[in-house]
Amino acid sequence: MVLLAAFYLVPDHVITLGSWRFSSIESSLYAGFWLTFLIWVFWDFAIAQKFDFSRKNVVVIFFLIVNFFSLWVISLFSHFTGFAITDYVWMMTLSVILTILQRITWSLVVTRR
């Protein structure tokens, strides 16, 4: 939903949402799938390498970097995903928004003991 909202809010910078194969909604779902997949891959890799997630700032920085890299990869393969971002500033802005929303969702889903 964030990727589709970004397309409608800043269409000059989030472009090619949709292609000859996908509509804008389909391509935002497809790009969202790949974003989620890449985040899981990096999360599993970090856990396997025993990365220290005990501090909250480390988790936020980790996901900010992963979101930026994942959006860059998705945008790099825009011919397949139907999603591209024209400027790195907007990519970083979208990464920050995604990271904040992921942290809010994580705090709502995970119960603390």
H/E element holding 84? strand 84-85
Output b/e per residue, 41-54; b: 16+ Cβ within 10 A.
Answer: ebeeeeeeeeeeee
pLDDT digits (tens, 9 = 90+) for 6-17: 665 666 656 655
Mean pLDDT of 92-107: 85
Give the model's pLDDT for residue 84: 78
Q: pTM (2 decimals)?
A: 0.76
* Domain span holding position 20: 2-109
**Among residues 87, 79, 83, 105, which one has the least CA distance to residue 35?**
83
Condensed to tens digits (0 to 9), the pLDDT of residues 40-87 reads 999 899 989 888 878 878 888 999 999 999 989 988 887 777 777 777
- Residues 28-44 have pLDDT tens digits of 778 888 888 999 999 89
The Cβ of residue 90 has, within 10 Å, a number of other Cβ atoms equal to 16
CA-to-CA distance for 88 and 46, rounded, in angstroms?
25
Record the tokens describing residue 11, joined without a space: 């269409």
First-to-final CA distance of the chain: 31
Count up the domains in the chain and report the number: 1
